[in-house]
């Protein structure tokens, strides 16, 4: 019977995402559906799954793996301080930058959550609905980072200020409650040791980071599919920190959460996280969520009148605890987006499950109260994402097109500028040659300058751009302007060098500065060689229906997908993949990796959509 229950759970874990994908059920997070399925199959309704020692053990492992992966999700770069040595361009941009950065907004927002959670917890105690102020405070200030990340990925917001703000608030919504839970468990656990012993966990975590910091630097040389050293190290860190945590009287989930932070700080390869996700979300975590639903006996809960009162009360408490985020988000973002971000921050489930499990182990909460908290948390996972998806609109600052400035108007640069203009780029061209200005001003936006002195260009805002293309034939002039543009802080500088002597002498300097170099002779040589080796090259390059494009793979959806399995592979031809400093000649079996630079051919109509899809930052 024990094995039958496990088989049913694994069958459900397999079927749930397939059914959700087949019928496009995106309203609910997968975790919520798994809990609901557990409720249906448990004693609440069908009673076909029964708790046993094996399932209890797998459930405990599932929550440990879930908290480990939650720690692995935290992006510590959001907490990093900005450099003080700003370039002149950055200094100029900072003057017009919004007053409140995502970090400041996030800390202000989460401080309001903590304050509101404490006030609501006190009101519940005064009203006699729930007596434990500290436990209620911890529960109300939790946020489900995984669900928030999924929603932000879908909207492609992880790299935007709004997305970073909500992401950081959510990260604090996992870290701070976990710290609070640690001290809460230490204070109320009968086996708790002195609080100072908790420092041993942090000390062990710090030693692990220091000891294995260099591990991933030579990881590629020693890792094999039969050893999976990165995964072995991860589980070693999990077991070690969980063991230390339980030895000093803390909860094992704290050790698991710290283990995720340790692995994150070691900066593993993206493939490492993919493998760990596959182990966790492929086996252990679905069991944990389904078993959480099995343990939720709705018949007993709904038969208790007090529980019926607690469910809406706790739901309102979850929502009100996050309400003060709204005026803080309004300091920078649009009204509708501030409300959408507030709604998304109300979503909570993952840490709530962990907190409730600990509270039940400590006998600090009844099963009815725990069930009411869990049901209310499930409802936030419906209300939050639905409200967010309905209300969010692109911020005006995020909708700005990429700005490209050309210095030099000629038969080489003008056609390129014209094509980029049609593809949505903000293009401006500059020249100090009146003849060129008269020749091309009717074709595209050209500005006539008195000279090309760097200080005058800065004064005229010519260097205030995302990309600057130095397309003159004068190599010395392009070199001088490239240095000035880089010193000013232009993110990308593309310079033309027709004189091979100048290029050979100064190539190292240009490379160190980050200048991207091209020359017409090199392009012609490469094209002629390609034409000899591949006769269709010229037709491809000059075709008005198809062309060669490049995109950097940032969409995790396509990571580890074989080329043959791309949904749009019939519409493109992948010529080369540039990966970690070298070219990879792709075959149908070649898997794509994060940050691959993919060179492909396609029709102009399809290329823009494909580049957007592969280049999504999520």
pLDDT per residue as tens digits for the range 543-563: 555 567 778 887 777 877 778
Alpha helices in 405-499 (DSSP H): 413-422, 434-440, 454-459, 475-488
Closest CA to 183 of 191, 192, 175: 192
pTM (two decimals) = 0.76
Q: Is residue 228, in this structure, part of any structural domain at all?
A: no
Out of 377, 398, 419, pick the residue that ends a domain.
Answer: 398
CATH code of the domain in which 184 resides: 1.20.1530.20
Distances (CA, A) of 366 to 25, 283, 359, 373, 500: 34, 29, 9, 11, 79
Q: What CATH number is attached to the domain comprising 558?
A: 3.30.70.1450
Helices (H), 248-281: 252-265, 270-279
Give SS3 for 493.
strand
Give the pLDDT band of residue 120 (cuts 50, 70, 90): very high
CA distance 200 to 206: 10
Per DSSP, the residues of 377-418 read: HHHHHHHHHHHHHHH----GGGGPPPEEEEE--STTHHHHHH
**pLDDT of 57:** 92
Say if residue 178 is in the same domain as residue 32.
yes
Domain membership flag for residue 130: yes
Assess whether 183 and 299 both reside in one domain: yes
Give residue 166's region: left, alpha or beta (phi > 0; psi -120 to 50): alpha
Instruction: Please state, as a whole number, how many other Cβ atoms lie within 10 Å of the Cβ of residue 278.
Output: 12
Mark whether 549 and 610 lie in a shared domain: yes
Q: Could you tell me which residues are beta bridge partners of residue 552?
A: 597
Q: Does residue 152 belong to any structural domain of this protein?
A: yes
Asked if the structure places residue 259 within a domain, the reply is no
pLDDT-based confidence at residue 428 (cuts at 50, 70, 90): very high
The verdict on 491 and 346 lying in the same domain is no
Residues 6+ apart with CB under 8 A from 187: none
Same-domain pairing of 461 and 359: no
Q: What's the Cα-to-Cα distance from 2 to each of 7, 10, 28, 63, rounded to whole Å?
A: 9, 13, 30, 20
| Whole-angstrom distance, CA of residue 2 vs CA of residue 403 | 63
Residues 610, 579, single domain; the answer is: yes
Domain annotation covers residue 279: no
According to DSSP, the β-strands at 597-603 and 546-552 are antiparallel
418 shares its domain with 389: no
Q: Do residues 367 and 299 touch, judged by C-beta distance below 8 A? A: no
Which pLDDT band, with edges at 50, 70 and 90, does 595 fall under? confident
The parent domain of residue 587 ranges over 543-614
With a cut of 90, say whether residue 531 has pLDDT above it: no
Domain endpoint, select from 495, 526, 557: 526
Q: What are the pLDDT digits (tens) for 47-89?
A: 899 888 899 999 989 989 988 988 887 767 666 655 557 788 7
Q: What are 310-328's pLDDT values in tens digits?
A: 999 999 999 999 999 999 9
Decide if 32 contacts 384 (C-beta within 8 A).
Answer: no
Q: Domain check: are 332 and 410 in the same one?
A: no
**Same domain for 427 and 406:** yes
Q: CA 240, CA 247: separation in Å to the nearest integer?
A: 11
- What tens digit of pLDDT does each residue of 573-589 get? 887 888 877 777 787 77
pLDDT higher than threshold 90 for residue 468: yes
Q: What confidence category does residue 597 fall into, taking pLDDT thresholds of 50, 70 and 90?
A: confident
What strand order describes the sheet that includes 546-552? 546-552, 597-603, 572-579, 582-584
The domain spanning residue 459 has which CATH number? 3.40.50.720
What mean pLDDT value characterizes the chain?
83
| 410 and 501 housed in the same domain | yes
Domain boundary among 398, 418, 443: 398
**230-253 average pLDDT score:** 83
Structural domain tally of the chain?
Answer: 3
Residues 18, 129: one domain?
yes
Residue 2 has pLDDT above 80, yes or no: no
Within a domain: residue 242? Answer: no
Predicted local confidence at residue 542, as pLDDT? 56
Cα separation, 145 vs 173, in Å, equals 7
Q: Is residue 471 part of a domain?
A: yes
* Whether residue 373 is found in the same domain as residue 409: no
């Amino acid at each position: 019977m024990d094995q039958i229950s496990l088989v049913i759970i694994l069958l459900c874990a397999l079927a749930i995402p397939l059914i959700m994908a087949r019928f496009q059920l995106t309203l609910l997070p997968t975790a919520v559906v798994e809990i609901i399925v557990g409720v249906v199959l448990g004693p609440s309704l069908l009673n076909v799954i029964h708790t046993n020692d094996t399932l209890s053990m797998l459930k405990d492992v599932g929550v440990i793996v879930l908290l480990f992966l939650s720690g692995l999700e935290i992006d510590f770069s959001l907490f990093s301080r900005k450099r003080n040595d700003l370039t002149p361009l950055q200094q100029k941009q900072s003057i017009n930058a919004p007053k409140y950065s995502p970090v400041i907004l996030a800390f202000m927002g989460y401080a309001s959550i903590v304050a509101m959670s404490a006030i609501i917890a006190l009101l519940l105690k005064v009203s006699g609905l729930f007596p434990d102020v500290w436990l209620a405070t911890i529960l109300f200030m939790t946020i489900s980072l995984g669900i928030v990340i999924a929603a932000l990925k879908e909207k492609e917001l992880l790299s935007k200020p709004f997305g970073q703000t909500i992401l950081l608030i959510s990260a604090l919504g996992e870290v701070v409650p976990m710290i609070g839970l640690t001290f809460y468990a230490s204070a109320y656990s009968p086996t708790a040791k002195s609080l100072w012993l908790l420092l041993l966990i942090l000390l062990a975590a710090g030693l692990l980071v220091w000891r294995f910091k260099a591990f991933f630097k030579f990881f590629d040389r020693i890792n094999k599919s039969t050893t999976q050293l990165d995964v072995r190290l991860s589980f070693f860190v999990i077991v070690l920190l969980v063991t230390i945590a339980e030895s000093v009287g803390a909860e094992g989930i704290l050790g698991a959460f710290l283990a995720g932070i340790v692995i994150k700080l070691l900066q593993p390869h993206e493939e490492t996280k993919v493998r760990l996700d596959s182990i966790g979300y492929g086996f252990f975590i679905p069991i944990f969520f389904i078993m959480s639903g099995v343990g939720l006996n709705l018949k007993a809960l709904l038969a208790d009148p007090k529980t019926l009162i607690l469910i809406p009360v706790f739901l309102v408490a979850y929502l009100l605890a996050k309400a003060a985020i709204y005026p803080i988000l309004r300091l920078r973002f649009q009204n509708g987006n501030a409300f959408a971000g507030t709604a998304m921050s109300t979503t909570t489930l993952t840490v709530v499950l962990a907190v409730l499990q600990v509270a039940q182990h400590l006998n600090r909460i009844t099963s009815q109260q725990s069930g009411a908290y869990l049901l209310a948390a499930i409802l936030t996972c419906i209300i939050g994402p639905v409200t967010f998806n309905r209300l969010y609109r692109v911020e005006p600052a995020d909708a700005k097109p990429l700005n490209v400035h050309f210095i030099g108007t000629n038969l080489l640069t003008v056609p390129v500028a014209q094509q980029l203009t049609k593809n949505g780029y903000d293009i401006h061209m500059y020249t100090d040659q009146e003849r060129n200005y008269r020749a091309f001003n009717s074709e595209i936006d050209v500005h006539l300058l008195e000279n090309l002195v760097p200080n005058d260009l800065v004064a005229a805002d010519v260097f205030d751009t995302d990309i600057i293309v130095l397309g003159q034939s004068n190599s010395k002039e392009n070199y001088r302007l490239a240095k000035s543009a880089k010193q000013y802080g232009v993110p990308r500088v593309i310079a033309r060098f027709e004189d091979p002597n100048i290029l050979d002498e100064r190539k190292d300097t240009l490379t160190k500065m980050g200048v991207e170099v091209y020359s017409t002779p090199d392009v012609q040589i490469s094209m002629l060689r390609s034409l000899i080796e591949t006769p269709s090259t010229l037709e491809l390059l000059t075709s008005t229906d198809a062309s060669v494009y490049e995109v950097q793979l940032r969409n995790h959806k396509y990571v580890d997908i074989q080329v043959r399995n791309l949904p749009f592979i019939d519409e493109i031809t992948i010529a080369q993949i540039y990966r970690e400093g070298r070219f990879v000649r792709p075959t149908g079996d070649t898997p794509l990796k994060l940050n691959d630079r993919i060179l492909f051919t396609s029709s102009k109509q399809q290329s823009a959509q494909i580049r957007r899809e592969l280049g999504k930052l999520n």
